[in-house]
Structure 1
């Protein structure tokens, strides 16, 4: 399997898994999604917003554009859902358009938190793994507030389901 095919599949997984979470959480009340709990982000809605905002940052790295932080305060959960799905789709389309050579291109990052120079493909792995980490937190937050019906969203499950 080529790196391009693998990265495209991984980016498509990111769209799929975010869609699974939106489908799951859309049926829940805004009260539940905004209920404050002890976690790195204090509600499911705030955690989803963080995933979306971070995905936008990494998209700017991958697309080699300037990151413009939006002031996403007071957004409805519906707006957060839509923004996350649009961001994931935009990322997947970008990755699909890249050649093998472009995926190996090293991109230098210098910001107040870290400096590095890694291949673009490593940054895609970072953004999807970051989302996975926080989606796990969402499942845990959900369990703590009585939402126990999360579906299986593992990468391997995605690969099995998409090939059926």
Structure 2
């Protein structure tokens, strides 16, 4: 399997999982989504907002437009905006990666921020986005159990891989 195929599958999987989570959590009450639970972030919505914000941040570097503004994007927003933003960013990332060549994925992008400096390939940053989202979505499932949400969808990569040819983003 080529790097291009692997990274493309990763972002397609991420988009599918985000869709599953948005569909799953859309029917949950605002009280459940905003109930404070001990975790990295205090609520399910705050965690989802963080995933979205982080995807947007890394998107700016990967796409080499560096237009992410932490100040502007740090304010907590409502459920629908978070869900929509997360889905839109995941779709944008998939389309972008699908348009890249293997050479594009191997291109290094230097980042100099107040917190760190690095010079890694685009595919490494893309993998970071995917792994970061997986980490926090696991927290969302655990947080959900603590507020009475026990019907999390199956989102293992292998599950997506087996069924990816059925219907996109089912």
Normalising by structure 2, we get a TM-score of 0.92
More deviation, 79-88/150-159: 150-159
The 5-angstrom pairing of residues 83-98 of structure 1 reads 83-98=85-100
Normalising by structure 1, we get a TM-score of 0.95
The 5-angstrom pairing of residues 93-104 of structure 1 reads 93-104=95-106
Runs of 4+ with >4 A deviation: none
List per-residue Cα deviations over 1:17-64 (Å, max 9, x = no partner). Answer: 000000110010111101111111100000000000000011111101
SS at match of 1:116: strand
Q: What CA distance in whole angstroms lies between the structure 2 residues aligned with 1:109 and 1:71?
A: 19
List per-residue Cα deviations over 1:122-145 (Å, max 9, x = no partner). Answer: 010000100000000000100111
The 5-angstrom pairing of residues 1-164 of structure 1 reads 1-69=1-69, 70-71=72-73, 73-164=75-166
Q: What CA distance in whole angstroms lies between the structure 1 residues aligned with 2:151 and 2:56?
A: 28
Q: What CA distance in whole angstroms lies between the structure 2 residues aligned with 1:75 and 1:57?
A: 17
Q: What CA distance in whole angstroms lies between the structure 2 residues aligned with 1:124 and 1:71?
A: 20
Q: What is the number of residues matched between the two proteins?
A: 164
Q: CA RMSD in A?
A: 1.2
Q: Retained in 1: the 8 A contact 2:22–2:83?
A: yes
Q: Gapped runs of 5+ residues in structure 1?
A: none
- CA drift of 1:111 comes to 1.2
Q: Gapped runs of 5+ residues in structure 2?
A: none
